[in-house]
Amino acid sequence: MQVQFKILRQTPGSGRESRFQRYTVEARPEERVLDCLNRIKWEQDQTLGFRSSCGHGVCGSDAMKINGRCALACQKLVRDYGGQEITIEPLPSFRVLKDLIVDMKPFFDNIEKVRPFLVNTSTPPEKERLQSKEDSRKVNEVIRCILCACCTASCPVVLGGGEFLGPAPMVWAFRQVFDSRDQDTLNRLKELDAKEGAFGCENHFECTRACPKEIKVTKSINMLKREIEAHLRGS
C-alpha cells in the first residue's frame, strides 16, 4: 500500500523556516513507522534527520510525536494509523537540533538530579547484593524504563514550563526509594518533597498513556507522594 507521511523539517540556525514535507512510501501494513522513515532516508531524501538504533523498543532513541502522540517509531505499525496520513514531529518541549533529532541533555540532567543509582555504604558481599523475590517485585515494573522521554514530552506540567523535573526522573527516583538495597531513602524523600519532585505531578496521566514500556508512571509518582507523607509527615 502507499502511505503518506507529513514530516516536520527544521534546521535551526540555517535561516530556513520550519516546514512540513510530504513523502509517499510503499509499505506493508505490518511494517513499522521506523521502516518507512528508513526507506525515505535511504531512497528519497538523505537529508532527513532522525535517531534510531535497536529497532526493537530497547534503546529508546526513536521517540517522536506520531499523529499527535509521543511514541517509538519502531513500535508503531503502518496499520495502527488505518491508512490515514501519518504526521511526524519531534518530541514536544525539547530543543530541536535537526528535524526529529532533539537535544536530550536537559532530560538526562534531570534524571541525574534524582541520583539514579543505589546508595549503600555497607561492605559489599563477595558477589552481589541479593534481594528477595518479594522485594524485587516492588521495582520490577519501573526497571523496564528505557529513558525514551515519551512520558516527559507528553506531560502537561512540563509542557507548561513548570519546575517539575518530569515523570521520567520520578520513575528513576521510585526505583531507588523502593529498592530494598538502597540506604538513603529518607534523604531521597526529602529531595522529592517539592514542586520539582513528586508534588509537581498533577495527575494528568498523559505519561502513563505515552509510556511504550507500559509503566504505570502516574501511579508510581503517587506512591512516592504517599511515601513522603508517611515518612516525613507521619500521615
- List residues near ligand SF4 by CB under 6 A: 145-151, 167-168, 171, 210-213, 215, 217
Q: Which is nearer to ligand FES, 74 or 114 (CB)?
A: 74
Q: For residue 86, with 0-12 CB atoms within 10 Å meaning exposed, 13-18 middle and 19 or more buried, which class applies?
A: buried
How far is it, in rounded angstroms, from Cα 147 to Cα 126? Answer: 31
How many residues make contact with ligand FES (CB under 6 A)? 12
Place of cell 523498543: 57
Please name which of 153, 184, 146, 187 lies closest in space to residue 167, comparing C-alpha atoms: 153
State the nearest-atom distance from the C-beta of 60 to ligand SF4, in Å.
6
Say whether residue 38 binds ligand FES (CB under 6 A). Answer: no
**String of DSSP letters for 121-180:** -SPPPSS-----HHHHHHHTTGGG-----HHHHH-HHHHTT-S---HHHHHHHHHHHT-T
* Residue 86 site contact among ligand SF4, ligand FES, none (CB < 5 to 8 Å, cut-off depends on kind): none
State the nearest-atom distance from the C-beta of 172 to ligand SF4, in Å.
8
Give the range of 51-59, 114-122, 165-173, 174-182 binding ligand FES by CB under 6 A.
Answer: 51-59
State the nearest-atom distance from the C-beta of 14 to ligand SF4, in Å.
30
Which three three-digit cell numbers place residue 98? Answer: 535537526
x/- site string to ligand FES, residues 179 to 208, per CB under 6 A? ------------------------------
Q: Is 26 helix (H, G, I), strand (E, B) or coil?
A: strand
* Residue 227 site contact among ligand SF4, ligand FES, none (CB < 5 to 8 Å, cut-off depends on kind): none
* Residue 57 site contact among ligand FES, ligand SF4, none (CB < 5 to 8 Å, cut-off depends on kind): ligand FES
Of positions 49, 55, 116, 162, contacts ligand FES by CB under 6 A:
55
Do the bridges between strand 2-9 and strand 101-102 make them parallel or antiparallel, or are there none, so unpaired? unpaired
Amino acid at 8: L
First-residue to last-residue Cα distance in the chain: 59
* Residue 215 site contact among ligand SF4, ligand FES, none (CB < 5 to 8 Å, cut-off depends on kind): ligand SF4
Do the bridges between strand 63-66 and strand 96-98 make them parallel or antiparallel, or are there none, so unpaired? unpaired
Say whether residue 62 binds ligand FES (CB under 6 A). Answer: yes
Residues at the contact surface with ligand FES, assessed by CB under 6 A = 52-55, 57-62, 72, 74
